[in-house]
Amino acid sequence: MVPNECPHEEVSMPVHGEVPWPIPEHTSAKHDIYRHYLHRWFPILIGGANAYPSATYAEGFSGPGIYEDGEPGSPMIAIHALHQEVPATKGISRFLFIDDDPRCIKLLNEQLAPVVASSPRAAPSMPIKVQQGKCEEILEDELTKINAWGQPILAVLDSWGNAPVSFRLLQRLAANPSSEVIVTFEPQYFVRFVTELGDSADEVFGGDRVWRQVADLPDGPTKRRHLLDCYRHTLKSAGFGFLLDFELVDRRGNVLYLVFGTRHKLGVEKMKDALWEVDRAYGVGFRDPRDQQEEALFAVDEPQLAPLGRLVLPEIAKAGLHGRKIGTLIDYTLCETVFRKQHIIPTIESLRAQGKVETRKPGRITYGTEVRTPAS
């Protein structure tokens, strides 16, 4: 995200039942993240002084645009974010919504009609296309038809858990200017069906069959982390140099990963801001998948920084007596954890107070401070 530089059971079943369906806890939390992020994405990409002429928000699994209780779906959230953040005279924002259920397509068109009619934007500056079909089969061609390539694309691939998105499509998105992906990934789908899934599942992981080793791993958390590591490797190989992933855990313990890929640190920073501002009232916990103690980040109003301490200690220890500068640990925090860069100094202060790390000089910790583990 930079200006121009010139479900398996819970979530997927509704498509076989009534439309619309009740909104799951995971989805409420995801939508709040999308909302906060889009309020940053649109102004940067098409609203600023160095913005692009146009940008595209594309969903490969759009749903009907509304839930059983009247809660708006992500297509409506995206359009409202544009209206709220970018003047009607600024830029062109394209919207592409794909779903393979004709009932969803019909209802989504009905939901969009009054929004388009009341929009302050003229139709040429907010073209919207709703298309029935399978994301994997038509998304790339539909992006071509609406002239999206060559300008930023945010592709939301919220595939109800099983991430059926080809590696080749991820590669093309990564190569497109200032483009990003948000992929939902339910590890349990791959854990349960590893012996039944064919070559198309391997293609989700870029053709690498290492993910199938999940069948031999001893427990649920280890299986989940293995699958996430494999998918992170897939996105990195596709060309997304910066990743952010985290677990959303509902009251029943169901785990859903949200994986964000971008080529720019600014995108990671803004997505982290969105994550840490999400409403805590959805009954969904957030965790860093790398924390083996699986501690929730949002148990109380203040952020839980103990997981970050457990993650940075090995990084500090690796440096031996030379230690690590806080600036280096900030980069690690930004790129390798779900925590924000401003979390690192209070975390190091806490670790120092516990005697787990020491600084070369006492007193205030700054970006230039060197920190190391105590000599044994």
What lies within 8 Å, CB to CB, of 229 at 6+ separation is none
Task: Report d(CA 158, CA 155) in Å as an integer.
Answer: 9
**Range name among 21-30, 118-127, 344-353 with the lowest pLDDT average:** 21-30
Q: To 10 degrees, what angle do helices 74-85 and 102-117 make? A: 20
pLDDT recorded at residue 5: 47
For the cut 90, the answer to whether the pLDDT of residue 213 exceeds it is yes
The CATH 3.40.50.150 portion of the chain extends over 9-287
Q: To 10 degrees, what angle do helices 167-175 and 220-238 make? A: 50
Q: Which CATH architecture has domain 9-287?
A: 3-Layer(aba) Sandwich (3.40)
Tell whether pTM > 0.85. Answer: yes
The CATH 1.10.10 portion of the chain extends over 306-372
The CATH class of the 306-372 domain is: mainly alpha
Name the band, by pLDDT with cuts 50, 70 and 90, for residue 6. Answer: very low
Q: What are phi and psi of 49, to 5 degrees?
A: -65, -35
Average pLDDT, integer, range 38-44: 97
Average pLDDT, integer, range 35-60: 95
Average pLDDT, integer, range 94-105: 96
% pLDDT > 70, the chain: 90
